[in-house]
Amino acid sequence: MQLVNAHITYYRSIEDSDRLDVEPDVTCLVGKNESGKTTALQAIYRLNPVESSARFDEVIDFPARLTRKRKEFPGDRMIPVVVATFRYDDEEMAEIEKDLGAGALRTPEFTVTIGYRGRSSMTFEHSYDEKKIVEHLRSRLDLSMGAAKDVDAATTVNGLLEALDGLQEPPSSAQRLAERIHGWRDERIGCHLLDTYAMPKMPKFVYFDDYDTMPGKVSIPALIRKRDTEDLTRGEHALLSLLAMAGVELEDFHNTDQHEHLIRELENSGNVISDEVFDYWTQNDQLEVKLSVLPIEQGASPPFNEGPILQIRVHNQRHRASVPFDERSRGFVWFFSFLAYFTDLEEAATNDLILLLDEPGLSLHGRAQKDLLRLIDSRLAPKHQVLYTTHSPFMVAPDHLDRVRTVIDRDKVGTKISSEIFKADSDTVFPLLTSMGIEMTQTLFVGDHTLLLEGPSDLIYLDILSDQVEANGLEGMDARWVKTPIGGSGKLSTFVTLLGANKVHVAVLVDSSTKDVGAVKHLRDNDQLAANGLIEISEFTSTADADIEDLFEPDFYLDLVNRAYAKQLDTPIAATDLNTKDPRIVRQVEAHFRKHDIAGGKLDHFKPAAVLLRQQHDVLDQQPISQTTINRASQLFTRLNALLP
């Protein structure tokens, strides 16, 4: 059975939420602080809580601004707070139709209403076809023609029951049917559907927030008293769940001869939960949970002045040290506590579970929040519906914006929930836009295999050279490489760090004299760059210092420069005009520009490349790219492509 939607009214900050449509797997409620996200979850939780829960209190929970309206409701009339629609699954529908006939329900959906006041704080409503149900119920009766007359004329269950009770000598089939209907509460179809299907199969709601974590130390006698008075926190429930999975009762700790046995059982259970945690927790896999029984410390304050004391510690194998459980990273503590609590509930559940997670991962690093999303999608959602609240961009899946609902607290109308996510105010949609921005920065200009280049001229030269190499029957650049100019060598290490942190496969093509090469090499040594992913142009030019332009023959590059600066040059630059002692053709041209004050003494590296791009056919017809250049480029592309899987 699934929750389809919910409509909340007259509860704390919510006067009328509008309809909250619930996804069959995951629904994300996004809103800023104090928008009413928690209020919405708490209202829904009371539909059918897995734990005993406080009832609605109209004095405390009814919106204070509407106190006068509250007093206008008749004293015996229920004031609705949550109207929820549930849907039977195919198996449940088949069971109902076997009982009441095909088409008994006009729709697999039914509504549940809970609220203040009234003789009943919960009502159910099914849409059923009574005539078809009556036809099904009497279809197996074996009646004489005279007896069947009144029975066949009945179109309602009450009419059918009256006809059956009025039979002079009813056959056994008629007696059984009459007894069956008399067995329904109030002899009504709606009550039968409620008692047999809706209530027994209705999902249980599990609420868990960021603060519901297991304590690091408990007094066993104090915990027993809290358990017996049903005064446990959810964190303490999580601890009891861990005990239950180990088959351990709190009273067992009073047997001092069994402490070692109990601890071993608890550690085994802790290891089971830890293994599942580490399937999703990628921040640190060197942690393990250990338990111990401690004596009472002298002068301890209540409740720790009563023993035995059970302590939970997290041992860090990397640092060879341990700390009390509740002093460990809140993220790991939350992961462990939630899975301990939920796993026990899941194993014991006979009904579907709907998980209400209030601000999960609030204290988690952005990457750990991604781990939590993976836990929700791969561990929880395949079996259970999940509704969670957040205001973090890392908890919004940019490829699943369809699951997002915005929560806004509006003046004079209270909290509103909407599927029209981009109609919300800028503060509310900020996490959505940020999440999309993060996704775009990782996918718009980069891909799974990213080659970082210093500037756009490098991209032009590589594209044209790749075409020329392939035209000569050699290996060009693999299309899987996404070439990304970054606007200068000084940004190389920053981009490598950012992309490497997002697990993008990165390689870097640099001039041999780039000042940032040392920093990039350091990143490579720290595994933030692909193995052998730092490629220097000098590897293919047989010189110690080279730009990408040095892949070409000097005369070819000078032709591009002369075309690009034709208006600024009195005569074309010849190779004999340059200082050929400098191994880099670009530096030779720059020195000539400064000496003769051409273009203000500055060479724009992009202009010659732009000429090659725009006038490619004319340039190559007059001066084809040499075989030496083709061979150099082919070696470069072979080197690059070897880095790909």
Nearest to 77 by CA among 141, 176, 10, 136: 10
Lowest mean pLDDT among 19-23, 92-96, 600-604: 600-604
Cross-strand pairs, 7: 19, 83
Task: Give the residue extent of every domain in the chain.
Answer: 2-22+33-204, 211-350, 449-641
Residue owning tokens 């609240």: 389
Angle between helices 90-100 and 130-138 (to 10 degrees): 60
Residues 6+ apart with CB under 8 A from 163: 150, 151, 153, 154
pLDDT of residue 501: 46
What is the distance between the terminal CA atoms of the chain, rounded to a whole angstrom? 45
- Residue 507 gets the label, from left (phi > 0), alpha (psi -120 to 50) or beta, of beta
CA distance 105 to 127: 6
- 3-state SS string over 407-452? EEEECCCEEEEECCHHHCCHHHHHHHHHHHHHHHHHHCCCCCEEEE
What is the per-residue pLDDT across 508-553, written as a single tens digit (0 to 9) for each?
Answer: 888 766 554 555 555 555 555 656 778 888 889 988 788 899 999 9
Q: Let me know: does 250 contact 227? Beta carbons within 8 Å.
A: yes
Q: Let me know: does 140 contact 151? Beta carbons within 8 Å.
A: no
Taking 90 as the threshold, does the pLDDT of residue 330 lie above it? no
What is the per-residue pLDDT across 115-136, written as a single tens digit (0 to 9) for each?
Answer: 998 667 799 999 999 999 999 9
What is the per-residue pLDDT across 422-435, written as a single tens digit (0 to 9) for each?
Answer: 667 777 877 776 76
User: Residues of 221-239 as b/e, b for ≥16 C-beta within 10 angstroms?
Assistant: bbbbebeeeeebebbbbbb
pLDDT of residue 631: 95
pLDDT of residue 461: 94
pLDDT of residue 513: 60
CA distance 121 to 362: 34
pLDDT of residue 482: 84
More confident residue, 573 or 491: 573
In this prediction, residue 493 has a pLDDT band, given cuts at 50, 70 and 90, of low
Residue 292, phi then psi, degrees to nearest 5 = -150, 155
- In this prediction, residues 566-583 reach a mean pLDDT of 90
Taking 90 as the threshold, does the pLDDT of residue 112 lie above it? yes
More confident residue, 258 or 400: 400
Residues 6+ apart with CB under 8 A from 320: none
- In this prediction, residues 623-643 reach a mean pLDDT of 93
More confident residue, 297 or 286: 297
- 3-state SS string over 536-605? EHHHHCCCCCCCHHHHCCHHHHHHHHHHHCCCCCCCCCCHHHCCCCCCCHHHHHHHHHHHCCHHHHCCCC
pLDDT of residue 142: 81
In this prediction, residue 344 has a pLDDT band, given cuts at 50, 70 and 90, of confident
pLDDT of residue 483: 85
CA distance 313 to 328: 9
pLDDT of residue 516: 47
Taking 80 as the threshold, does the pLDDT of residue 487 lie above it? no
> Residue 377, exposed/middle/buried by CB under 10 A (0-12, 13-18, 19+)?
middle
pLDDT of residue 422: 64
What is the per-residue pLDDT across 169-203, written as a single tens digit (0 to 9) for each?
Answer: 888 888 999 999 999 999 999 999 999 999 999 99
Taking 80 as the threshold, does the pLDDT of residue 496 lie above it? no
pLDDT of residue 158: 93
More confident residue, 503 or 350: 350
pLDDT of residue 447: 61
Taking 50 as the threshold, does the pLDDT of residue 306 lie above it? yes
Cross-strand pairs, 451: 483, 507
Taking 70 as the threshold, does the pLDDT of residue 70 lie above it? yes
In this prediction, residue 147 has a pLDDT band, given cuts at 50, 70 and 90, of confident
pLDDT of residue 188: 94
User: pLDDT over 70 for what percent of the chain?
Assistant: 90
Cross-strand pairs, 122: 114
pTM over 0.85: no
More confident residue, 357 or 54: 357
- In this prediction, residues 15-32 reach a mean pLDDT of 95
Taking 70 as the threshold, does the pLDDT of residue 495 lie above it? no
CA distance 57 to 54: 8
CA distance 196 to 181: 13
DSSP conformation letters of 198-214: IHHHSPEEEEEETT---
pLDDT of residue 421: 77
Q: Let me know: does 373 contact 381? Beta carbons within 8 Å.
A: no
